[in-house]
Chain A
């Protein structure tokens, strides 16, 4: 029923006549009859706009939107400033393709250049690309970047997000690199174990900072150990935490990657999110994907273009550094607007408040019998036991009260998270609910 075709039937006839064709079917004469579909597609009849919105609304209503979210584990609910939504819905940004034609795409190109600059500021690294799909694929691409002729092994911290570990493993099973996990010890990467694992064919080490359990790793020591054998260190970063903690560059990382969703993107059931990637100058030409550079036009004016394209698939084909073509440009724009709106002070405030609320939540949980599993400095996530009633029951009780509690990990453990949008009142309520159930 719905249609976005604008030519009328009369115009279509006129067009056919001009081409010298009796019917539209004639244009499909190359499609052999034994391949052509002889029946209508078995999908529902089309809908009017009113009907389709009702249909989608009904489906959306079957999902629960929690007012209080104490769950992170790779997807974080932060405040999204009104200006961010206003800017990113501008249709010139929304409906443009990749900026192949620089002369009519300076706005898009400049926005990416600004994004790259901000990612460099945040991570302390020299160069950033224009984005990849998400934090997990960014980590996997970073691992692939480190491969050298005699180095085809990657060590990945067991304290990384499981999705990141699995994605790295998938990419490596494709390109023939081998992956080993660096074991966890007391909630952090076991650096003594890393030392004992070192080998000449090690390409890189991946460690998340903070790690999956929210705990701060000793990235500097990991860097020393990794570099002692000539391998590269990849830091997986939370972009909010980066505003207050030592940058991956300061800690000695060669590549910094991460999930950029906290920078202004809604939870969206997992996507679209943003993979950010930044590296040292030495690794610039191994970065995958689009990169925007500054240059001048024919008349000497400042201009922006897609650059270093000799790395990319449309030029290098099977020899390209990656197959990536479309990325998450609109999400990168979102992140840039978010960081502009927040500014350095705002970013630090988001980080500090998130961390403070998480610490408050932890102390309150501890007071009612949820024991802390790891006694280590943490950012805005932490792990506790399931308290008196057990983890599963605790989370169900919260859910019944409109609160999305932490994530159930194995063995009766809960991974909690708090961000700046959670109020003290909400935390107190959650704890009261748990206390009541535990009685």
Chain B
């Protein structure tokens, strides 16, 4: 594929702007740009074809099955997009007077009520732009809470070794030392290890439940109690909420603060890497510290709370990725209480159905029922046939299926983590099971074919080591 710069022809352009209808203002002496501004010189047809070609070289949920574990790649409903594109949402300035954005403030208050109820939290901020941003926000809430009590000795955040990499990174950004605790044989929190780790220096625990191996930690109440008894707070990483929404709530599990990935659980598209929305919900003990501004209801009017003495600050401009919130709100209103619960139930059913269909061909890291996702270990396959998790993943691409998450969680060797989500049909699951079983057979009969996959894509496996060793990060004109 040509780069857009390689399509450039000197003098080609689009006619977009009218002639300026006022006198041209001049830049002060010495301030004008002297270096060339290298942008492509292309026509509208060039642009359209260029990006159509790039789109063909992309794979979204719309193109096929996308069982990327931990990422909840469910179908992105189109009505969400239509709602977010309404001029009344898309064309309003963030600094308009509150009287002229009553609908926008109402939507934020409504979303706060709905997501608060789903998570069992008292208040929700939509300012964080993504999951990791939400984690940072949540940990800053915990920090502000301890500081407000003059409790300055709490310098540690406990994170299980099965956690997403963002957890320790977020806690570190908030200035905490990370205490990593090993998981038990079931992939769950080892209660003895947790007891040994907590103390009067514990600021909090970060946990995903169901956890990253797809298991609901049945000791959850004991876990959160151990942390509370030590004076710490409990943080819920909402990456896996899709398994339990409407079934169980983090707020009832003993969590004090939670982040949601609206771009996972609540069906908003991921856009090739973002924008997401990392809404943060908290119990009322943490509400005073939430980032500002916040939309609030006052009688039948809506206002913006812009100042208080206790907020830990702001993590972003304005109110967050607002249009993403509108999409997620549309989704929740569409599904309603029953639909939300049903989504979780079918997500879990689909995962168990796939797990069951694959259990003879692949080794499951944690046999038994799973929640919304499961992890397979290909350690045996690698030892016996030299075929790795990566090879199987790449081979799936030839079947038109996006590979599962690879080599995560770190506690499982040669891991493939599969999350089908509730929006996939039985037929799609059957096809995927068939494809994965075929790959497992091929790994035995003709391992070379799997190791050299994919065979049907525009490129074969790229040289990643070379890319990092000699970084070429832009086109040279």
Contacts and interface: CB of A to CB of B under 8 A. Distances in A.
A53 B330 CA distance: 8
Contacts of A314: 164-166, 408
B104 A63 contact: yes
Contacts of A286: none
A34 B219 CA distance: 11
B93 interface: yes
A18 B86 CA distance: 45
Interface residues of B, number: 195
A7 B420 CA distance: 13
B47 A216 contact: no
Interface string B29-60: 01111111111111010011011111111111
A120 B291 CA distance: 33
Interface string A246-270: 1101100000000100000011111
Interface stretch (A186-194, A222-230, A344-352, A429-437): A344-352
Interface stretch (A43-51, A200-208, A365-373, A383-391): A43-51
A90 B140 contact: no
Contacts of B166: 313-314, 323, 325
A72 B132 CA distance: 29
Nearest to A14: B426
B438 interface: no
A96 B221 contact: no
A105 B57 CA distance: 6
A290 interface: yes
Given A49-B79, A291-B473, A323-B169, A114 B467 contact: no
A60 B460 contact: no
Interface string B210-231: 0000011110110000000000
A399 B96 CA distance: 10
B85 to A, nearest CB: 9
B5 interface: yes
Contact of B346 (A5, A339, A420): A5
Contacts of B196: none
B130 A133 contact: yes
Contact of A244 (B33, B269, B312): B33
A199 interface: no
Contacts of B275: 133, 271-272, 326-331
Interface residues of A, number: 204
Contacts of B408: 314
Given A29-B369, A318-B171, A94 B76 contact: yes
Contact of B41 (A73, A92, A296, A343): A343
A404 B95 CA distance: 10
Interface in A108-128: 108, 110-114, 116-118, 120-122, 124, 127-128
Chain A CB within 10 A, most for which of B341, B348, B466: B466
Given A1-B339, A4-B422, A317-B165, A308 B468 contact: yes
Interface string A347-364: 111101101111110000
Interface string B69-90: 0010111110101110011111
A305 B467 CA distance: 8
A196 interface: no
Nearest to B467: A295
A356 B24 contact: yes
A107 B79 contact: no
A297 B14 contact: no
A15 interface: yes
B130 A327 contact: yes
A35 B225 CA distance: 13
Interface stretch (B321-329, B379-387, B439-447): B321-329
A21 interface: yes
A339 to B, nearest CB: 5
B356 A130 contact: no
Contacts of A293: 467-468, 471-473
A49 B394 CA distance: 38
B294 interface: no
B330 A377 contact: no
B316 A41 contact: no
A394 to B, nearest CB: 13
Contact of B402 (A26, A104, A121, A424): A104
A31 interface: yes
Contact of A6 (B90, B91, B425): B425
A111 B51 contact: yes
Contacts of A14: 426
A317 B177 CA distance: 12
Given A32-B220, A59-B88, A309-B468, A98 B460 contact: no
A26 B425 CA distance: 21
Nearest to B137: A170
Given A101-B403, A171-B173, A271 B323 contact: yes
Interface string A145-165: 000000000000000010110
Interface in A315-338: 315-320, 322-331, 333, 336-337
A331 B317 CA distance: 15
Contacts of B82: 53
A329 B253 contact: no
Interface string A397-439: 0010000100100000000000010011101000000000000
Given A52-B79, A268-B323, A40 B13 contact: no
B94 A267 contact: yes
A420 B59 contact: no
A59 to B, nearest CB: 4
B317 A355 contact: no
Nearest to A11: B426
B337 A44 contact: yes
Interface in B121-143: 129-133, 135-136, 139-140, 143
A171 B128 CA distance: 13
Interface string B444-477: 0000000000100111111110111001111101
A92 B4 CA distance: 18
B318 A59 contact: no
A326 B467 contact: no
B1 A307 contact: no
Contacts of B97: 399
Given A12-B346, A12-B349, A344-B39, A90 B55 contact: yes
23 contacts: A1-B334, A4-B422, A6-B424, A41-B246, A41-B340, A46-B334, A56-B329, A74-B318, A89-B81, A92-B62, A94-B76, A95-B61, A101-B397, A106-B458, A114-B5, A268-B91, A296-B462, A298-B462, A313-B166, A314-B166, A341-B44, A348-B37, A360-B23
The 10 closest A-B pairs by CB, nearest first: A60-B88, A270-B318, A46-B336, A330-B271, A62-B103, A329-B273, A107-B57, A95-B60, A270-B94, A170-B313
Given A4-B343, A52-B334, 13 more contacts: A19-B349, A95-B76, A99-B272, A116-B473, A170-B312, A171-B315, A269-B104, A272-B324, A297-B462, A326-B129, A329-B274, A330-B273, A425-B21
